[in-house]
Structure 1
Amino acid sequence: MKFARHFFRSAIGPAAFILAATTPFAAPATEPPPPAPARIDLQTAIGYALEHNFAIRQARERIREQEGVVVEVKAQALPNVGAGGNYQFGEREISNSQPQSNHGWSLNLTASQTLFAGGGVRASIQSSELVREAALLDLKAVINAALLQVRTNYYQVLLARERITVQEENLRLLEQQLKTTTDRFEAGTVSGFERLRAEVAVANAKTPLISARNDYRLAIEALRQSLGLTTRRTESLDSAAEIVGKLDFEPVSFDLRSATESARANRPDLQRLSKLVAASERAITTARSGYYPRVAAVGGWEAFKGRTLAVSDGREGAFIGVQSQWDIFDGRATSGRVAQARSVVEQNRLTLVERELAAEVEVRRAYSSWQEATELVEASGRVVEQAEEAVRLANARYSAGTGTQLDVLQAQVELTTARTNQVQAYYNYNVAIATLRQAMGLTDALVQG
């Protein structure tokens, strides 16, 4: 019991020191969120997202993690140097030293270098480097997907704003029509029914305007999320920054065959899977290394307690040699690991072929959507011109007394529909171009380098 009390009393001090030394410092306070740009156009949105989008930031961290894995694996090919020490206090009767003593100590410094490991070390290094390259390609794929989302959300904001403009213009024209009808009713040239119908038309026009304004607020929040713009303030992005830009139509040509070939050559997700296939093939060599002995050169220095506890009285010396370990029979564990590695290779190959097929289908769908959007833009432009002329003629006929109020209201409804369809077609066209480029494996057009 005296020995136990003495041992634990001696151990409390070093253990407490080790615990204090390894306890991490308190994490620094979270940095304040970056301010929103004062003016957000598409170029600014893309640039901001590259720095602050959370999916992109997480992908960068995965690369940093994989770089650490590469360093760890490469350490197997480098010399390993370690130092150790031991101090014992026990009963004299169980001591192995001569003369027997209830105290004992030893020190050692050992270095080892792997000489042969069946090719497993080299294969592991190659595999880890290929996985790191796959992580870089994954970052590129994440960037492409994130920037496509930013573009889509940015265009959605512009679309919602254009819809507000269309509905406000529609409401203004209907209110003007109501004023004209009211003046004519007071002059006794039209019935009260026509004034009532004009009032109903104005009231009905307020509903889509309210919905358009709400869609704009929601689009703003979706854009803020895709940008990675965090804020502790209560104001919206629209009040903190001016969002500029306009949906337009700039003709762009694509070829389906060239788009498909570009996808096979440039899509980072396909390139990433190719790297993973190559990495898994190296893993077979790593697994097969278990069939071979592992040989390492070792050397070092050791010191032991001598006749007294004094270090100067200790015994010491250097040594050098070769160590080998060979699992002649391991219960077929190595065979199992080889079978698993081969299965992983085949799974990765099948995944690559499946993804290549999915990429081709994705390109064809995006190309078809681009064709549809192009045709809709061209058609919607002609319809708006015709609808504007129809409204002008309906108003002229109504003023001349040869047309009815119903003709005017119907023409105005058709004009609003045509303008709404046009801005929707512009939105679909711009999104279709961005989606097709992403399907082709091309980086966003506004990304420098």
Structure 2
Amino acid sequence: MKLKLMLLLSLAMPASADTLADALASAYASNPDLAAQRAVVRQVDELVPQAIAAVRPAVTPSASLQQVMGPSFQNEGRLFSGGVTISQPLFRGGRTWSSIEAGEQRIFAARARLRLVENSVLVNTLTAYADVLRTAEIVKLNENQVRVLEQQLRASRDRFEVGDLTRTDVAQSEARLANANSNLIAAQGAAIAAQQAYQRVVGRPPVDLAPIPPLPPLPASAAEALALARDSAPTLLAARFDEGAAKADVRTARGQWLPTVTLNATGTYQELTGLPNGVGTRVVDGFAPGVGVTASIPLYSGGLTGSAVRQAQARQSQLLELIASADRAVVEAVNNGWAGVETARATQVSAKSAIAANALAAEGVRQENSVGSRTILEVLNAEQELLNSRVTLAQADRDVAVATYTLLASIGRAEAIALGLPVEAYDVAVNAKRVRGIISDWNVDPDPRRTPERNHAKKKAQ
């Protein structure tokens, strides 16, 4: 009873009815897992401006004030000195440009992983949506089964009273009704769990969900799906970009063997104040500007540079293997996804045929029982077989939808743009372009606690 009350309350939440497109759009706009991954991409965006900063000038002012003491610790005045140093790197062995390239490759990898999370979140949303529909349908089927068995029990008791049936027949009807009530309670519990999963993914409770619309088209064959996946699967693209970044890291490490050339400009000023003889102020050096070029080349670093290069090469070697691993995972995912779609579709067709046959059989057994040629147990078994086939169809309908979206995700097509969702797509390039042009040390973003919407996408106006 408590489960039934919770189920009814959850279904009676005041809100407008949801469609699958609404649910997917809500998840895309505000799901916290997806929003968090967008923030990860913005973190990685900063790698490029940090690398570019290495070729920009560095300005360092300095100042000091010292108390000057004589041989007998008498006061000789205060020495003030100040200056500014400007350093402009001219050549860093190519490390700046390889660092920029590595940063760009890691940005592309982060964007690919964002696509991976997007695909996962939207598949999870579809799954939660389909699970709510499936569990709600199974609850209705079990409620109907309870009503049918209640009628059957009443009829059995009436026939027992007139001596047409035995006490065993009545007991069989009572047992089946008790079992049906148990199944109904389990189905209601599963429905509540499905609703909670939906709220976790979408961000609001499900209300009067519309049936799943026609599913998106799939590639014509498993081979075509695999070819598409090898071009656009996020896991494979991320692995390739990771290896590209590691390749650039090798060049950065090799750059430590090359010379470094820096242009330096300095300006210093010194004066001695507060002299004991009352003279007042005496300039010691005055203003002294200077310009120079510093060049250095490492001849020996104790093996450090060679070790850094070997380490970077080993990292690249690892990531080359991970590309092969990602390719195998994509092949597995696509083939399993394709098999899952075909299996679910076949089960769906079989379940429809089974419903038609079991409905006919149940009606025939009921009629034959009324004339005494069939037992109560046979009637109960026929009703159970009909229920089982209807539950199988509800599960198969859900499985076809989930398998379709899972296959689309394996090739990188379960995304907002590909699915045509009513949302404004989150543009990953906007932030990267913005931060690349920032040269100020004090240009920072607002407090994240006050701007959570930065990680969210927007729905299109209806």
Tell me the TM-score normalized by structure 1. Answer: 0.83
Residues 249 and 426 in structure 1, CA contact (< 8 A), matched pair in contact too: no
Q: Within 5 A, what are the aligned runs for 1:426-441?
A: 426-441=397-412
1:70 is aligned to: 48
Find the aligned partners of 2:61 and 2:330 in 1 and give their Cα distance. Answer: 54
2:232 is aligned to: 266
Structure with greater contact order relative to length (CA < 8 Å, sep ≥ 6): 2
Find the aligned partners of 1:412 and 1:92 in 2 and give their Cα distance. Answer: 112
Residues 48 and 103 in structure 2, CA contact (< 8 A), matched pair in contact too: yes
Quick check: 1:293 aligned with 2:247?
A: no
What is the aligned counterpart of 2:245 among 279, 300, 304? 279
Find the aligned partners of 2:250 and 2:184 in 1 and give their Cα distance. Answer: 64
Quick check: 1:319 aligned with 2:290?
A: yes
Find the aligned partners of 2:105 and 2:281 in 1 and give their Cα distance. Answer: 50
Find the aligned partners of 1:362 and 1:54 in 2 and give their Cα distance. Answer: 25
CA shift in 2, pair 1:250/1:190, >3 Å: farther
Q: Secondary structure at the match of 1:442?
A: coil
1:114 is aligned to: 89
2:210 is aligned to: 245
1:192 is aligned to: 167
CA shift in 2, pair 1:185/1:85, >3 Å: same
2:29 is aligned to: 51
2:146 is aligned to: 171
Find the aligned partners of 1:37 and 1:282 in 2 and give their Cα distance. Answer: 53
Between the aligned residues of both structures, percent identity stands at 24
CA shift in 2, pair 1:162/1:249, >3 Å: farther
Residues 40 and 243 in structure 1, CA contact (< 8 A), matched pair in contact too: yes
Q: Which amino acid aligns with 1:214?
A: G
Deviation at 1:388, TM superposition (A): 0.9
Find the aligned partners of 2:375 and 2:393 in 1 and give their Cα distance. Answer: 27
Q: Secondary structure at the match of 1:101?
A: strand
Residues 77 and 272 in structure 2, CA contact (< 8 A), matched pair in contact too: no
Superposed CA offset, 1:389-421 (max 9, x none): 111112222223333222211110110111111
Q: Secondary structure at the match of 2:64?
A: strand
1:83 is aligned to: 61
Range with greater deviation from structure 2 (174-183 or 407-416): 174-183
Residues 247 and 427 in structure 1, CA contact (< 8 A), matched pair in contact too: no
Q: Secondary structure at the match of 2:384?
A: helix
Q: Within 5 A, what are the aligned runs for 1:106-145?
A: 106-145=81-120
CA shift in 2, pair 1:81/1:250, >3 Å: closer
Deviation at 1:92, TM superposition (A): 4.0
Q: Which amino acid aligns with 1:212?
A: A
Find the aligned partners of 2:210 and 2:179 in 1 and give their Cα distance. Answer: 30
Range with greater deviation from structure 2 (318-327 or 340-349): 318-327
CA shift in 2, pair 1:108/1:243, >3 Å: farther
CA shift in 2, pair 1:218/1:384, >3 Å: same
Find the aligned partners of 2:329 and 2:29 in 1 and give their Cα distance. Answer: 30
What is the aligned counterpart of 2:333 among 349, 362, 367? 362
Q: State the Cα RMSD in Å.
A: 2.6
Superposed CA offset, 1:288-344 (max 9, x none): 111112111111322112455889957113221112232221112111111111111
2:269 is aligned to: 303
Find the aligned partners of 2:367 and 2:319 in 1 and give their Cα distance. Answer: 70
Superposed CA offset, 1:355-395 (max 9, x none): 10121121111111111111111111000011111111122
Q: Secondary structure at the match of 1:40?
A: coil
Count, aligned residues: 402
Residues 92 and 102 in structure 1, CA contact (< 8 A), matched pair in contact too: no
Q: Secondary structure at the match of 2:83?
A: strand
What is the aligned counterpart of 2:311 among 323, 340, 349? 340
Deviation at 1:278, TM superposition (A): 1.2
CA shift in 2, pair 1:212/1:93, >3 Å: farther
Structure 1 runs not aligned, ≥5 long? 1-34, 230-236
CA shift in 2, pair 1:198/1:71, >3 Å: same
Quick check: 1:418 aligned with 2:418?
A: no
Find the aligned partners of 1:291 and 1:124 in 2 and give their Cα distance. Answer: 16
Range with greater deviation from structure 2 (362-371 or 297-306): 297-306
Superposed CA offset, 1:197-228 (max 9, x none): 2122111111111111111111122222223x
Find the aligned partners of 1:108 and 1:38 in 2 and give their Cα distance. Answer: 69
Residues 394 and 408 in structure 1, CA contact (< 8 A), matched pair in contact too: yes
Residues 249 and 429 in structure 1, CA contact (< 8 A), matched pair in contact too: no
What is the aligned counterpart of 2:360 among 373, 389, 394? 389
CA shift in 2, pair 1:353/1:164, >3 Å: same
Tell me the TM-score normalized by structure 2. Answer: 0.81
What is the aligned counterpart of 2:350 among 373, 379, 383? 379
CA shift in 2, pair 1:394/1:141, >3 Å: same
Q: Which amino acid aligns with 1:136?
A: R
1:8 is aligned to: none
2:434 is aligned to: none
